[in-house]
Structure 1
Amino acid sequence: FEELIDRRGTSCLKYDFSKERGLPEDVLPFWVADMDFRTPDPVVEELVRRSKHGIFGYTDIKEDYLSVLSHWLRSRHDWTPDMKTMTVTPGVVFAICTAIRALTREGDSVLICPPVYYPFYSSVLGNHRKLVESPLVLRKENDGRPIAYEIDFDDFENKIKDNEVKLFIMCSPHNPVGRVWKRDELERIGEICKRHGVVVIADEIHHDFVREGFKHTVFASISDEIDDITITCTSPSKTFNLAGLQISHVFIRNEALRHMFRQELYTEGYSQPNALGVFAAKAAYGKGEPWLKELLVYLEGNLQRTKEFLAHHLPLVNLVEPEGTYLLWMDFSKYGLSDKELDDIIIHRGKLWLDSGHIFGTGGKGFQRINAACPWNRLEEGLYRLLNCLDSQGT
């Protein structure tokens, strides 16, 4: 994981599109959530083997694929869904948009809990639904240092009642704030949504990135009643760095909901998955666990070194301690800068490409999200660039 791999020139969204996105070409990127690590060797080997066959016709999944996926979910997440309830899609955001169209009508209310993964906003608004927010609450120490985000359950339920919410999109673990929701929190979400007839889309794409001492609970695993109102979205794309191969898994136990979802998918013209994605995912789930265990240790090291760097060099930057994901949510509000001023300093003086907090919606002002899934030398360079650009402001 220490190898510095040059990704430029591969049509890589993270490195090759700064100019197209209106940024200087020499920025060092830590924005989009993919990793600067090679996928596990068994996955590469399987892709090479399959590619040598030379024919890439229509492809679908068979029992051997379902078997390794089922084993992964059972062994790592203590969840044994009926694999017949699973539908393959090219991505989780694609699945969310499909579910929105399948289960709601234009003008219906969809709830989110910001600050949250910004495609949730475009998925709701782009499909002409009413966006309803129940912002997370950031608990702080007496000196203002952040502790953790929590759900305001009174507000959560009131927003559902007042707006006749039909659908709730949940991020679990939560991107960008790094919360791994506790079982009792998930139970309370389930109770409220069940009581008011709200279907839950559980985006659990980061479920394999949970730090020691925390446990990811699959929302649908809590009870049959909760499973019956849940659309669970998972994918190997984050876990094994396979986003470009476009494959994800959507589990819907409720037969009526599953029929509506699949009917909408049919009308979109999507049927078979990416040929190479199928073989990559099967190899990853079947042979990638040792690699993942080593990766989690390395990412923990990156986090600890980042915390030390901030404490010694950037004490005004407050890191919200993550419980999961490889994304770091940092509070720069003590610098007293507007989002535009902060972004300008980071981009043009620091030559850094981060995700500005405001794009994650309500509660994101003054924050930046940094992707820490890269070799430490690269992350350290980014942190020094951050230090130098903020120092140059006399801050």
Structure 2
Amino acid sequence: MWVHNFDKVPNRKGTSSVKWDMTKTVFGRDDVLPMWVADMDFPPPPQVIDALKARLSHGIFGYTFTGEPLGEAVSAWMKDRHNWEIRKSWLLYSSGIVPAIATIINALTEKGDAVLMHSPVYTPFFSLVEKNERVVKKSPLKMKDGQYVVDFEKFEESLQQGVKLFLLCSPHNPGGRVWKQDELVKMAELCQKYNVLIVSDEIHADLVHKPNKHIPVSSIKNEFEDFILTLIAPSKTFNIAGLQASAMIIPNQKLREKVAEEQQKQGVFTLNTFGVVGMETAYLYGGEWLDSLLSYLQENIRLVKSFVEKELPELTVMEPEATYLLWIDFSQLGKSEKELEDLLLNKGKLALEPGTKYGKDGDGFFRMNIACTRETLKEGLARLKKAFS
């Protein structure tokens, strides 16, 4: 198997990197090791870099459209990696999944409508609903055998409260759960029963660890395609979030037309030139690089778990079935989140994301990004130990 060298990475400081250059703004000091926001320290596949260089060398960057080749690349990727045959006509494009969610909320719900989501969950789910004057409804996940599972009794109770749309995070961020088919079917059938649309954010779908398998919820039954909108992007998979390119897969023509009309209202017409090139190339040629990345990430995960078990047994790392984000339980230390954060930042000089950022149900947890070189990871673990020694 072709293997990429993930131990050799460029210095990211001074590149307007949110992760590396905004620690002073976000955490109050600039001498912390950033293991927080969800981007990787690795360059994307070399084919992506070469394609961007070739496009740059052309020298003209006029208006660009998302043509047939991009649709074919997205469709082939979904079929090869996720066993889902989609039509190119189902695709709409957006500069990112967060903008796509905002567009869908405005297109398919009205002000004052209730939007349901699990908790804890990816932070923008809450803010996008609130900022667009909809009502957040939370269905807390429950813990079973060290993993999050859906509390279906509470989930159904929430659906009965006039919910119009359910935002699903699949795989789950921050817990790293890969929802199994029976869980997805039950969520979808309940939403179908109560006439609730599903928007499935599947941005982490490609970053699944064996033997787990991501299943696009819309792909399970033909009837699910009528009320499910699936959001994908190469940004997390290939570390190209800065190229700002994502896709919405919307089989239902009426829903797709409503979302497209909302994009027109907002003046959103296409992707930027480099987003088109990066997305198409990544999906066409990034498979081997991704397989190599997943092997590297799995070794990083093993290293963290081993270190924590030996050096910091009071902490518990939730087993990640997907993503490069570890959800770590600090609650046995008996300290408040503010006290924990103070020790991490000021004693350990380590920047992690506090759990309540993902809802009050995340209290006691911190999220750690382990998509970095082994050397950086070992430094981060040393700082984690120092914070609580």
Q: Which runs of 5+ in 1 are unaligned?
A: 141-146
Structure-2 separation of matches of 1:325 and 1:160: 28
Is residue 375 of structure 1 aligned with residue 368 of structure 2? no
Deviations 1:116-154 (A, max 9, x none): 0001010111111111000000124xxxxxx21100111
Q: Which residue is equivalent to 1:78? A: 83
Is residue 352 of structure 1 aligned with residue 337 of structure 2? no
Q: Which residue is equivalent to 2:295? A: 297
- Classify the secondary structure of the residue corresponding to 2:361: coil
- Classify the secondary structure of the residue corresponding to 2:388: helix
Are the aligned partners of 1:135 and 1:362 in contact in 2 as well (CA < 8 Å)?
no
Structure-2 separation of matches of 1:22 and 1:38: 25
Judge which range, 229-238 or 58-67, deviates more: 58-67
Q: Which residue is equivalent to 1:285? A: 283
Are the aligned partners of 1:109 and 1:167 in contact in 2 as well (CA < 8 Å)?
yes
Judge which range, 64-73 or 130-139, deviates more: 64-73
- Classify the secondary structure of the residue corresponding to 1:128: coil
Structure-2 separation of matches of 1:127 and 1:229: 21
Cα offset, 1:222, TM superposition: 0.8
Is residue 255 of structure 1 aligned with residue 260 of structure 2? no
- The structure 2 residue matched to 1:101, chosen from 106, 109, 115, is 106
- The structure 2 residue matched to 1:111, chosen from 100, 116, 139, is 116
- The structure 1 residue matched to 2:171, chosen from 167, 170, 173, is 173
Deviations 1:48-72 (A, max 9, x none): 1100111111111222222222111
Cα offset, 1:22, TM superposition: 4.5
Are the aligned partners of 2:352 and 2:367 in contact in 1 as well (CA < 8 Å)?
yes
Is residue 149 of structure 1 aligned with residue 155 of structure 2? no
Structure-1 separation of matches of 2:268 and 2:150: 36
- Classify the secondary structure of the residue corresponding to 2:119: coil
- How many residue pairs end up in the alignment? 384
- Classify the secondary structure of the residue corresponding to 1:380: helix
Structure-2 separation of matches of 1:100 and 1:80: 26
Structure-2 separation of matches of 1:159 and 1:43: 43
Structure-2 separation of matches of 1:374 and 1:198: 39
TM-score by structure 1 length? 0.96
Are the aligned partners of 2:9 and 2:43 in contact in 1 as well (CA < 8 Å)?
no
Structure-1 separation of matches of 2:361 and 2:249: 31
Judge which range, 168-177 or 256-265, deviates more: 256-265
- Classify the secondary structure of the residue corresponding to 1:7: coil
Matched residue type, 2:327:
W
- Classify the secondary structure of the residue corresponding to 1:281: helix
Q: Which residue is equivalent to 1:39? A: 44
Q: Which residue is equivalent to 1:18? A: 23
Structure-1 separation of matches of 2:127 and 2:60: 36
Q: Which residue is equivalent to 1:144? A: none
Cα offset, 1:112, TM superposition: 0.5
Judge which range, 226-235 or 21-30, deviates more: 21-30
TM-score by structure 2 length? 0.97
- Classify the secondary structure of the residue corresponding to 2:93: strand
- Classify the secondary structure of the residue corresponding to 1:363: helix
Cα offset, 1:362, TM superposition: 3.0
Judge which range, 62-71 or 168-177, deviates more: 62-71
Structure-2 separation of matches of 1:207 and 1:77: 9
RMSD after superposition = 0.9
Q: Which residue is equivalent to 2:142? A: 137
Are the aligned partners of 1:167 and 1:201 in contact in 2 as well (CA < 8 Å)?
yes
Q: Which residue is equivalent to 1:58? A: 63
Deviations 1:154-180 (A, max 9, x none): 11011110x200000000000000100
Are the aligned partners of 1:4 and 1:378 in contact in 2 as well (CA < 8 Å)?
no
Deviations 1:201-231 (A, max 9, x none): 0000000011111110001101121111011
Matched residue type, 1:305:
L
- Classify the secondary structure of the residue corresponding to 2:313: coil
Cα offset, 1:4, TM superposition: 4.0
Structure-2 separation of matches of 1:384 and 1:308: 13
